[in-house]
Amino acid sequence: MAFELPALPYAKDALLPHISVETLEFHHGKHHNTYVDKLNGLVPGTEFEGKTLEEIIMAAPAGPVFNNAAQVWNHTFYWNSLSPNGGGEPTGALADAINAKWGSFDAFKAEFNDKAVNNFASSWTWLVKNADGSLEIVNTSNAGTPMTNGQTALLTVDLWEHAYYIDYRNVRPNYLGGFWALANWEFAAQNFAA
């Protein structure tokens, strides 16, 4: 069964003014779709045929199959990390966990921004839950995903240049400002509770 490009969970203009229709047309419609197409060309006739994205990510060695499967998964997760009704701060158990770890939401956000701004080249910054329930901010490069380290992703920001260059050019901190205005804390809380 072929993998398919998941539909965006909102209209292409829903993230304005923070993320443009043009960015979504390129980022989702071209980049994300290319990972899906490449994966569909790599999997048939291999031991990965019939497996889920997660099964492929956990089993595939470094290389084209892993890279494309992980990028399909990472991008789908990223689209859900954003919401036209997002922004603000988390509430409930997730807010309590963030405050317990960092002392305040502002301190968490400052550390996340620092790690994201200084995450070199094509990369991702994630809020994750470790196996012991503790929270951590982790950076991954290229197609890296916290799943392979036994961590549960709660929220992510895509730091590949195609995620922000149309709207923000080379000013990654401004893109992060847009990310926080759209951060989907409801999605993050569901992942935290899972």
User: CATH code at 48?
Assistant: 1.10.287.990
Establish whether 27 is an annotated binding residue.
Answer: yes
Domain shared by 104 and 176, yes or no: yes
Domain shared by 169 and 146, yes or no: yes
pLDDT, one tens digit per residue, over 103-129 is 999 999 999 999 999 999 999 999 999
Establish whether 162 is an annotated binding residue.
Answer: yes
Is 110 a member of any domain? yes
Range of the domain at 59: 21-80
Domain shared by 165 and 186, yes or no: yes
Domain shared by 189 and 96, yes or no: yes
Is 13 a member of any domain? no
pLDDT at residue number 1 = 76
pLDDT at residue number 167 = 98
Tell me, what amino acid is at 85? N
**pLDDT digits (tens), the chain, 194 positions:** 799 999 999 999 999 999 999 999 999 999 999 999 999 999 999 999 999 999 999 999 999 999 999 999 999 999 999 999 999 999 999 999 999 999 999 999 999 999 999 999 999 999 999 999 999 999 999 999 999 999 999 999 999 999 999 999 999 999 999 999 999 999 999 999 99
Is 36 a member of any domain? yes
Spatial separation of the C-alpha atoms in residues 125 and 120, rounded to whole Å: 11
Establish whether 158 is an annotated binding residue.
Answer: yes
From the CB of residue 194, how many other CB atoms can be counted at a distance below 10 Å?
A: 8
Domain final residue, candidates 55, 80, 105: 80
Domain shared by 34 and 99, yes or no: no
Number of domains making up the chain: 2
Domain shared by 188 and 96, yes or no: yes
Is 48 a member of any domain? yes
Domain shared by 71 and 114, yes or no: no
Domain shared by 155 and 127, yes or no: yes
pLDDT at residue number 118 = 97
Is 165 a member of any domain? yes
Domain shared by 75 and 98, yes or no: no
Domain shared by 51 and 106, yes or no: no
The three-state DSSP-derived secondary structure of 3-62 is: CCCCCCCCCCCCCCCCCCHHHHHHHHHHHHHHHHHHHHHHCCCCCCCCCCHHHHHHHCCC
Is 1 a member of any domain? no
Domain shared by 147 and 73, yes or no: no
Domain shared by 155 and 114, yes or no: yes
Residue appearing with tokens 């935290």: 192
pTM strictly above 0.95: yes
pLDDT at residue number 19 = 98
